[in-house]
Amino acid sequence: MERFAEDAGLVQSLRTYLQEHGVVESKVIAGKEQEGEKFADYFDYSEPVSAIPSHRALALFRGRREQMLMVNLRLDTEEEKPKWDAPHNPCESRIANQFKIKNEGRPADQWLAETVRWTWRIKCSMHLESELMSALRERSETEAINVFARNPKDLLLATPAGPKVTVGLDPGMRTGVKVAVVDATDKAVDTDVIYPHQPKNDWDGSLHTLAKLAEKHKATLISIGNGRASRETDKLAQDLIKAKPELKLTKIVVSEAGASVYPASEYVSKELPGMDVSLRGAVSIARRLQDPLAELVKIDPKSIGIGQYQHDVMQTQLARSLVAVVEDCVNAVGVDVNTASAPFLARVSGLSSTVAEGIVTYRDSNGAFQTRADLRSVPRLGEKTFEQAAGFLRIMNDKDPLDASAVHPESYLLVEKILKDIKKGVKEVIGDVTILNGLNPKKYADEKFGVPTVTDIIKELEKPGRDPRPEFTTATFKDGVEKISDLKADMILEGVVTNVAAFGAFVNIGVHQDGLVHTSALANTFVKDPHTVVKAGQVVKVKVLEVDEKRKRIALTMRLSDEAPKGSAGATPEQRANRPGTPRAPEARRPQEDRRSAPPSIMQWQMPCVSSRAEVSNNSLHFE
């Protein structure tokens, strides 16, 4: 057995076969049926190890870790572990053939056959199962981290409303709605608490307070958090806009991702030292509308993110991935060095927290930076740091337009060379597409600046400091649709994508419970990756397919031509499951020949993740 199991060529052959023909199966642990109800779809479940998607694999691993499920890997030819006197399975046959062991009627042949079985069962099978399951976990975690990292990127690169006076509303019921007014420079200038909802129901008083604050500070925007009581607070803002049209207010609902950890964070405590913790959230909600990126960089990326199974993956790898995403977003947009906070500056490539604090301190003591060259005067900002960071730092003034662009100071000489050749000033050339399109990059390329670099610089001069973020848009929730009972099948609504997972997208349609657009309903064509169709923060139109009030599930589709099944709103889960074309949870294992002729469809494989979301609250970050 030892000698057989140490044959490298044989072990590799067995590994390859098991990878191609292995099936992950799970069973509920006896007596855990009630306690592990959220894993009900996996009580009698099997799927090829090569095909199982990351979210279902992580669900199985979680169920095993919580001691609700027994999970193992078997060959697809084994419905049950064969008895010792059963014929060889394919892997045992490989071992026997490798060492020319076969039944020739000799007295020791049976003993040799048992040795082959023991080699597979005790040595090779257990080792390879552990190895392949570890590889499955690693692959699943990597995919989950990628999903998790892509959602914060969409939130960070959401469109900014710009430097406008904004009223931030942090919704609440019993504790009231926290109000904060933030001016065009993102400074908190006023705060208050109103009680329009139960139990005080001071609707008119709340309208009067908001109108007074908006008029006093000449606010133009109302930013509303999308948490509890968001829909009711949105109605309050709508009534204010109708009652005071002369104020010309616009209301927008924004994501509260990370809002729970923001008020008590160390930086915010220093930034807003005299403000009550409960009011700091309203300040953040207002600033998120003005510039989401500048505000969200103050929060731990893991608190911003929305994804799947982030608590089940390697936290160090997750943190490293998220930090890289934040830095990419900051560098892509650029940072105004004269207005940016220390946390914002610290996300710039090449700048540490200490150097970022030094920039802010120097700015406070000596006034605004006039040119990028002034940055060299900041303590601890050496030449190497300047070289790494300068291209991402912007100085918005008319002294040198290049300082407000992504052109690195090292390339200023090249720009001067181009300007000298065409006999134009920098202010004449910037933004003039006709002149810039007439330039030949090859003419100005040399040993230091290649053609691609020259081409990029010319493109940057067309729109210096251009913001890569999309245009500002908002979703309009339908009047009269405020709770899940207001939804009807075939109703077309506008909503905002709150989360994108491997199996679909969750959409906020203004009823306190996000609806799910399954991958099969995202487009009229096959969708392998939902991120190619939608992203967090995107405004979309959806149609209601089914509503299950009891389990708080809403099935949506972005294919507006789809028709909802009859009786969708009141059908029982069993009735819905038996409809033709309805996705189902995996069935109990069928006999081997049936499974080969009719493998589970993608829809069947996807459903377990969808169905268990009933166990978690709206905007949950760790759903099955």
Q: Edge-to-edge strand order for the sheet containing 250-254?
A: 188-194, 177-182, 166-170, 221-225, 250-254
Q: For 247-270, give one letter per residue: b (16+ CB within 10 A) or e.
A: bebbbbbbbbbbbeebbebeebee
- pLDDT value at position 155? 78
Alpha carbons 418 and 457: distance in angstroms, whole number: 11
Q: CA-CA distances (angstroms) from residue 169 to 213, 298, 311, 501?
A: 12, 19, 30, 29
pLDDT (tens digit, 9 = 90+) per residue, 219-249?
999 999 887 888 889 889 989 998 999 999 9
Helix orientation angle between 315-333 and 125-156, rounded to the nearest 10 degrees: 30
Q: What is the pLDDT of residue 600?
A: 35
DSSP conformation class of 438: T
Distance CA 101, CA 38 (A): 48
> CATH says 166-290 is which class?
alpha beta
Percentage of the chain exceeding pLDDT 90: 26
Give me the residue label for tokens 């020739």. Answer: 104
Give the H/E segment covering residue 545. Answer: strand 539-548
- Considering 204-218, 341-355, 577-591, the range whose residues carry the highest mean pLDDT is 204-218
**What is the Cα gyration radius of the chain?**
30
Rounded to whole angstroms, the Cα distance separating 320 from 428 reads 44
| pLDDT beyond 80 at 581 | no
> Comparing 535 with 358, which gets the higher pLDDT?
358
Domain ranges of the chain: 2-151, 166-290, 322-462, 484-582
CATH classification for the domain delimited by 484-582, as one of 3.40.630.30, 3.40.630.40, 2.40.50.140, 3.40.50.300: 2.40.50.140
Higher pLDDT, 613 or 198: 198
The single residue listed with the structure tokens 């493109």 is 459
State percent of the chain over pLDDT 70: 85
Output 1 or 466, whichever has higher pLDDT: 1
Look at 13-22, 149-158, 201-210, 268-277 and tell me which has the smallest mean pLDDT: 149-158
Q: Quick one: pLDDT at residue 308?
A: 62
Give tens-digit pLDDT for 307-360.
566 667 777 777 788 788 888 888 888 888 988 888 889 989 889 989 999 999
Find the mean pLDDT for residues 163-167: 92
pLDDT, residue 33, reads 87
What pLDDT sits at residue 583?
A: 39
One of 2.60.40.10, 3.40.50.10090, 1.10.287.3510, 1.10.3500.10 is the CATH number of 2-151, namely: 1.10.3500.10
Query: Which stretch of 338-342, 423-427, 460-464 has the lowest confidence by average pLDDT?
Result: 460-464
Q: Is the pLDDT of residue 213 over 90?
A: yes
- The whole-chain average pLDDT of the chain stands at 81
CATH of 322-462, picked from 1.10.3720.10, 1.10.150.310, 3.90.10.10, 1.20.272.10, is 1.10.150.310
Q: Of 53-57, 209-213, 282-286, give the lowest mean pLDDT range.
A: 53-57
Q: How far is CA 6 from CA 10, 73, 112, 115, 323, in A?
A: 8, 21, 17, 14, 43
Q: How confident is the model at residue 285 (pLDDT cuts 50, 70, 90)?
A: very high
> What distances in angstroms separate CA 84 from CA 74, 76, 115, one per listed residue?
16, 18, 11
The yes-or-no verdict on residue 82 having pLDDT over 50 is no
Maximum CA pair distance of the chain? 102
In this structure, what token pair is assigned to residue 148? 């998790």
Write down the pLDDT at residue 586: 38
Is residue 361 over pLDDT 80?
Answer: yes
Look at residue 182 and tell me whether its pLDDT is greater than 50. Answer: yes
User: What pLDDT, on a 0 to 100 scale, did the predictor assign at position 585?
Assistant: 36
Helix (H) or strand (E) holding 48: strand 44-48
Q: What pLDDT does 133 receive? A: 92
Q: Residue 123: CB partners within 8 Å, gap ≥ 6?
A: 1, 2, 4, 5
Reading the block at residue 316, the tokens are: 């160090």
pLDDT at position 354 is 92
Phi, psi of 48 (to 5 degrees): -55, 135
